[in-house]
Structure 1
Amino acid sequence: MQVIDFIASNGPWAWLVAGLILLALELVVPGGFLLWMGIAGIVTGLVALLQPVGWPGQWLIFGVLSLVSIALWVRWSRARPAKTDRPYLNRRADLFIGQEAVLEMPIVQGYGRVVLGDTVWRVSGPELPVGHRVRIVGNLGAVLAVEPIG
């Protein structure tokens, strides 16, 4: 109840100070949501300065602005892919799609092996003999899907 009494007695200035505190906390505790709550607090303070609003209305403005801005930020940040200098990290099999290889073990009952770089990979595809050239067309986890060439 002390927070409500403080806001009721100090009105817009309490929101402005709270917004600045939330912005400062965002520097210490990164994550993004305190930024939007701080901006919502400052906007709530500015609205209360320009138009007298009771404390329940101020809390409503702050809550709606916080939730909407955080939801929009999360949606926007999830929609854009993270840029990286190593796009195939933790997805090594995707790196080989489109490449050609020679079977080191025949594909029998749907599975065989190829050597790519310094690694032996399990492959799946139609039955083929040792030494046959294959093209990698996809992957199922760590198993490369292949098709025969020629």
Structure 2
Amino acid sequence: MQVIEFIASYGPWAWIVAGIILLALELVAPGGYLLWMGVAAVITGLFSLFQPLDWPIEWLIFGVLSLVTITAWVRFNRNRPSQTDRPYLNRRADRFVGHEAELEQAIHDGFGRMVLGDTVWRVSGPDLPAGRRVRVIGHDGAVLQVEPIEGSASERLR
């Protein structure tokens, strides 16, 4: 009961101070939830500063504002794409889509090999001879899918 009496005696200022404490706690334990609860507490304090309300109504406003702001933050944060300076860090095969190279080993029965970067990759595609230039069009796990490049130098020599 002393907490309720304390909040009732200081009124709106108790909400503002509690909001500032929650905002400060967000610095210590980041995660976003305390941030939005602190914002809700400060808004509740400012609202009750200009419009005196009973403490149950103030708690209702605080609870509703907390739920609304946290829900909005979670939905926004979930749909936001992650930004990174290395988007293909753990997706090496994606990095090579669109690259062109020569086949190291002929594609026979749908599979062959080629060198890209510092790795020998298994490739799949139509049967092609070794040395033929191909373009990576996709991948299936660690197997790169390739297609022949029309009009390549080796094609013109034939």
TM-score (norm 2): 0.81
The alpha-carbon distance between structure 1 residues 2 and 97, as it changes in their structure 2 partners (threshold 3 A), is farther
Q: After superposition, where does 1:81-96 map in structure 2 within 5 Å?
A: 81-96=81-96
Q: After superposition, where does 1:37-116 map in structure 2 within 5 Å?
A: 37-116=37-116
How many residues align? The count is 150
The alignment partner of 1:87 has SS state of coil
Q: What one-letter code is carried by the residue in structure 2 that aligns with 1:91?
A: R
The alpha-carbon distance between structure 1 residues 89 and 2, as it changes in their structure 2 partners (threshold 3 A), is farther
Q: CA deviation at 1:40?
A: 0.6
The alpha-carbon distance between structure 1 residues 56 and 145, as it changes in their structure 2 partners (threshold 3 A), is farther
Superposed CA RMSD in Å reads 2.1
The alignment partner of 1:129 has SS state of coil
Q: Which moved more, 1:50-59 or 1:5-14?
A: 5-14
**Post-superposition CA distance 1:71-128 (Å, at most 9, x none):** 2223333333333222221122222111111122233343322110111112222232
Distance 2:25 2:113 in 1: 54
Which structure 1 segments of 5+ residues have no match? none
Distance 2:20 2:112 in 1: 62
Q: What one-letter code is carried by the residue in structure 2 that aligns with 1:65?
A: L
Q: After superposition, where does 1:128-143 map in structure 2 within 5 Å?
A: 128-143=128-143
Q: CA deviation at 1:5?
A: 4.9
Which structure 2 segments of 5+ residues have no match? 151-158
In structure 2, the partner of 1:14 is 14
